[in-house]
């Protein structure tokens, strides 16, 4: 789901980044307004961004020898609202790209468009549509919202990747960037996420139900103690997910279209694509992250995975405290 560096043309990246600018502006302004009304939203933003970041660390094997993962964007949308989801997922994606090399820096706008905009808003619309029949359908609504949301995002990624070999070629007619056409990207991404959608759906429904059970009885409580009690279950959930993150290392293979150039060349023939290394990829932009692939030099992979998760969570909470903490006291 994360489009890496150089899979998209510079032009595509610029357009997608420009498209996201007013969306980010709207999300920040909307969240800013809500924070002034509810100071606890600052903590909930930290929790929601952490939940999304953590669930994306659990890679799952899918047919074809690749992997995929859930995102959690729809969960945040139906919990805190779609604009809060856009902000939360964008921050999570920024962390993944900058610190862990997961997703391209230039492709950041494109990744945010699919996972932080298309996914939460489409899922939220599905949730609200089903929920009109009554709150007793909340779990069903959350499941289908998550399922459809991640498939809409996958289709968006497939289209962005698939148009590259059509629009951007070298003088010999070979693709400059992603070489897989729409005839490959759409079926591969969609079939994969029709399966992963079940994981996304159950995660969305399960965690949303958990939040409802632990949060609702406390709305009437007052005082500092109620605040601590209110967030204790969610913080415990985060701790459990952090401990379990090494499970994500068990899945073998790299997600479709997240390969480096060497892996790309090995996989081209499998999809009946001419084995020519795209020049835009071999000569493209390169960024070295501090903890690439959630690894730390000299530290066992499982421990590095846990430390990566803890580092990200700490930064998320500090970020929201610094950005919105003062506004919550106004």
CATH of the domain at 96: 1.10.1760.20
Closest by CA position to 87, among listed 25, 156, 13, 3: 25
Q: What is the pLDDT of residue 242?
A: 97
Q: Which tokens belong to 229?
A: 């009690």
Distances (CA, A) of 93 to 1, 9, 113: 11, 19, 11
Q: Per the domain annotation, does 4 fall within a domain? A: no
Q: β-strands 60-62, 66-68: how paired?
A: antiparallel
Q: What is the pLDDT of residue 293?
A: 92
The predicted model scores a pTM of 0.93
Q: Per the domain annotation, does 3 fall within a domain? A: no
Give me the domain span that covers residue 24: 10-324
Q: Per the domain annotation, does 1 fall within a domain? A: no
Helix (H) or strand (E) holding 60: strand 60-62
Instruction: Please name the residues in contact with 295: beta carbons below 8 A apart, sequence gap of 6 or more.
Output: 301, 304
Q: What is the pLDDT of residue 230?
A: 72
Q: In which residue ranges of the chain is pLDDT below 50?
A: 218-219, 221-224, 330
Q: Per the domain annotation, does 210 fall within a domain? A: yes
- Residue 130 near residue 144, CB atoms below 8 Å: yes
- Residue 207 near residue 227, CB atoms below 8 Å: no
Q: What is the pLDDT of residue 163?
A: 97
CA angle 297-298-303, nearest 5°?
90
Distances (CA, A) of 192 to 48, 60, 117, 150, 253: 25, 11, 20, 11, 14
Distances (CA, A) of 220 to 70, 130, 205, 224, 320: 33, 28, 24, 13, 25
- Residue 89 near residue 112, CB atoms below 8 Å: yes
Q: Per the domain annotation, does 74 fall within a domain? A: yes
Please state, in angstroms and rounded to a whole number, the distance separating the CA atoms of residues 87 and 34. 13
Q: Per the domain annotation, does 176 fall within a domain? A: yes
Please state, in angstroms and rounded to a whole number, the distance separating the CA atoms of residues 313 and 315. 5
For the chain, how many structural domains are there in total? 1
Q: Which of left, alpha, beta for 6 (phi over 0: left; psi -120 to 50: alpha)?
A: left
- % of the chain at pLDDT higher than 70: 94
Please state, in angstroms and rounded to a whole number, the distance separating the CA atoms of residues 204 and 190. 19
Q: Per the domain annotation, does 5 fall within a domain? A: no
State residue 71 phi and psi, 5-degree precision: -125, -40
Q: What is the pLDDT of residue 227?
A: 55
């Amino acid at each position: 789901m994360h489009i890496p560096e150089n899979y998209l043309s510079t032009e595509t990246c610029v357009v997608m980044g420009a498209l996201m600018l007013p969306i980010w502006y709207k999300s920040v302004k909307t969240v800013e307004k809500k924070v002034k009304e509810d100071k606890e939203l600052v903590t909930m933003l930290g929790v929601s961004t952490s939940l999304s970041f953590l669930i994306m660390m659990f890679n799952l094997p899918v047919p074809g020898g690749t992997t995929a993962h859930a995102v959690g964007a729809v969960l945040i949308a139906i919990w805190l609202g779609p604009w809060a989801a856009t902000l939360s997922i964008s921050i999570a994606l920024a962390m993944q790209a900058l610190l862990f090399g997961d997703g391209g820096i230039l492709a950041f706008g494109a990744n945010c468009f699919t996972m932080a905009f298309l996914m939460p808003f489409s899922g939220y619309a599905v949730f609200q549509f089903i929920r009109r029949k009554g709150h007793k359908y909340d779990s069903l609504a959350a499941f289908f919202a998550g399922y459809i949301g991640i498939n809409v995002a996958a289709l968006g990624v497939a289209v962005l990747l698939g148009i590259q070999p059509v629009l951007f070629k070298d003088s010999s007619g070979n693709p400059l960037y992603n070489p897989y056409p729409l005839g490959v990207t759409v079926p591969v991404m969609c079939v994969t996420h029709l399966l992963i959608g079940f994981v996304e759906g159950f995660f969305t429904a399960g965690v949303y139900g958990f939040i409802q059970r632990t949060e609702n009885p406390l709305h009437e409580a007052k005082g500092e103690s109620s605040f601590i009690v209110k967030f204790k279950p969610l913080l415990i959930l985060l701790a459990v997910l952090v401990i379990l993150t090494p499970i994500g290392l068990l899945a073998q293979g790299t997600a479709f279209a997240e390969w480096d150039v060497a892996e790309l060349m090995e996989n081209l023939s499998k999809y009946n694509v001419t084995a020519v290394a795209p020049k835009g990829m071999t000569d493209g932009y390169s960024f070295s992250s501090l903890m690439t692939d959630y690894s730390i030099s000299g530290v066992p992979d499982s421990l590095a995975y846990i430390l990566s998760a803890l580092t990200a969570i700490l930064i998320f909470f500090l970020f929201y405290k610094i950005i919105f903490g003062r506004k919550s006291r106004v």
